[in-house]
Amino acid sequence: MAHPFGVATVETLTGHRTLTAAEIASTNIFSFDPGGAVRNLILPAEATSAGQVLFINNSADADEVITILDDASGYTVCTPGQDEAAVIWCDGVSWFGGVGSGA
At 9, is the pLDDT very low, low, confident or very high (cuts 50, 70, 90)? confident
The residue type found at 83 is: D
pLDDT of residue 3 exceeding 50: no
CB 25 within 8 A of CB 59: no
How many structural domains comprise the chain?
1
Domain presence at residue 29: yes
Distances in Å between the alpha carbon of 46 and those of 14, 17, 49?
A: 25, 17, 5
Least Cα distance to 28 among 11, 52, 58, 2 occurs for 52
> Could you give the 3-state DSSP secondary structure of residue 22?
helix
Q: How does pLDDT run across 13-44, given as a tens digit for each residue?
A: 999 999 999 999 888 999 999 999 999 999 99
Q: Pairing mode, if any, of strands 84-90 and 53-58?
A: antiparallel
pLDDT the model gives residue 73 = 82
CB 40 within 8 A of CB 28: no
Domain presence at residue 2: no
The CATH number given to whatever domain includes residue 36 is 2.60.120
This prediction has a pTM of 0.88
| Residue-range definition of the domain harbouring residue 69 | 7-101
Distances in Å between the alpha carbon of 40 and those of 11, 43, 74?
A: 14, 10, 10
